[in-house]
Structure formats: structure tokens, C-alpha cells
Amino acid sequence: MNRAYLLIGGNTKDPLKQLYRAERLIAERCGELLLMSRIYRTAAWGPIPQADFFNRALLVATSLSATQLLHTLLQIETEMGRIRIEKMGPRLIDIDILLLDDVQVENPELIIPHPLLAARRFALQPLSEIAPYLLHPVLGKTIETLLNECADSGDVQKK
């Protein structure tokens, strides 16, 4: 079994309801939900003014490969109604693979570990709650250390 660390988030159409629906679909289609962080309300990241996001980190035990997991998560996003209009724009649901064991993948459709993980407080804070001592396979630092060193000053608050 692979251990996948995911970040789910959204900021439109009742984001909390969307998070709970995504969790259920992930558990049904990807594997067993082992851990979930609390929900965090975070300032939107990027150049487009928009509502705050609600985010949660998940640890999933999955038999899916990295590519199978990606395709399943994209299918869940589509089924939930996500339409990709503008990069970093408002989203009904967003599901990112942050880490998958100590696997490193780099191809046109997928990069693991997530290439911006160390720069995003909104991802590190909930991930640190469920896996503070997990080592980033490329940077060789724990998630807690990456969070402490993160230059992102975006507001991240427990819901």
C-alpha cells in the first residue's frame, strides 16, 4: 500500500460541503482515509482577488499508482463540478497530491512531491498537523521544519 498525502480545498458553493463530499469520494475510490487534519481557512494564494479557501490535509492508504491516483482525483474533481477556467482562480474543489511515500515523479502531467509544497503555508500547516516528522524526499527536511522556514505569510487559521 502507498501512503498518499493529499490537500483538498475549495472556496465556492459551500466549501465545507464540498470538502466533505470530496473526502467521501476519495475514501470510496482511492483507499482508506487514515488521517485528516482539521479544516483551515486560508487566504487565497495568487494574483486573483477571491474568497478565502477552506483546506484539509488527508493521509490515504492506496493501492493506486501515482498516475492512477492522479486520474482518479481528477475524475472526482470533474464529477463534483470543477471547471478549470483560470489558473489560481476560484475553485469548487481542488485535490492535490502533495507526497506519495518517498516517490519522486516528474512528467508532463504530474510532479511528486508537489513542486510548490515548501512555499505554501496553506498546504504545510494542515500537513504538519498529520505528519510533522515526515521527511520531504527531495529537500530532506521534515514538514514541520519546512513550515517553520516557510516565507509565505498568508493567513492560515483553524476553522
Active site residues: 82, 91, 94, 96
Cα separation of 152 and 157, whole Å? Answer: 14
CA 134 to centroid of chain Cα atoms:
15
76-105 per-residue burial string, b: 16 or more CB within 10 A, e: under 16: bbeebebeeeeeeebbbbbbbbbbbeeeee
Q: Cα–Cα distance between 156 and 52 in angstroms, integer?
A: 10
Spacing of C-alpha 136 from chain mean position: 15
DSSP, collapsed to helix, strand or coil, labels residue 36 as strand
